[in-house]
Amino acid sequence: TSQPPPPMKCQRMLMLPPPKCQGSWVLVLGLDGSGKSTFLRVLSGKPPLEGHIPTWGFNSVRLPTKDFEVDLLEIGGSQNLRFYWKEFVNEVDVLVFMVDSADRLRLPWARQELHKLLDKDPDLPVVVVANKQVRAMGGNFSHMPGKGREHYRRIWVCAWRT
C-alpha cells in the first residue's frame, strides 16, 4: 500500500493560507525588552503584565480563526538565546521582528540581528513592529531595522503601542 502524501506546507504570505493548509507558523523575535511577550499576550486576548519579565526560553500562542490556526512562537531576545533564532527562521511562514523604538541606542544592534536572519532566508516575509511608540520621539520609521535593505523583498514596518 502506498503512503498518503505529506501535509501541504503553508505558503509564505500574510494573506489567508491555501484551502488545504491546516495553519501557519509565525516566529516572533527581537532584542530583550522589545515587547514580544506583551505582543503575544495582547494578541491572545490577555492583558499585558506590569513590569518587565524577561523570557527565559520560549513562549507560544495558538490563535484559531474560522478556517485555520496561526501558531506564534516567541524566542527570548537575550544574547544567550539568540543562538536558537537561526535554527527556527527557515521553519516558519512569517517573521515578526519586534523593536523597542524608544531605545534608539539599541536600534543599530536590532538592525544587525534582523539582517543576520534575513541573510539566512531573504525571501521570508517580515513584519517589523516598532513597539513603544508612546515613548519614542516622533513617528518617523526611517531609522527602523527593516529599512535600507531593498534586496529583501518582503518587509513591512508598522507601529505598536504597549
Known binding-site positions for Mg(2+) = 37, 55
3-state secondary structure of 78: coil
Backbone angles phi, psi at 156, to 5 degrees: -120, 140
Asked if 55 contacts 37 with a C-beta cutoff of 8 angstroms, the reply is: yes
Positions at the binding site: 30-37, 55, 77
Contacts 24+ apart (CB under 8 A), 40-49: 40/72, 40/74, 42/162, 43/72, 48/162
CA dist., res. 34 & res. 14, Å (int): 22
Positions at the binding site for GTP: 30-37, 77
**E-strand stretches of 44-93:** 58-64, 69-75
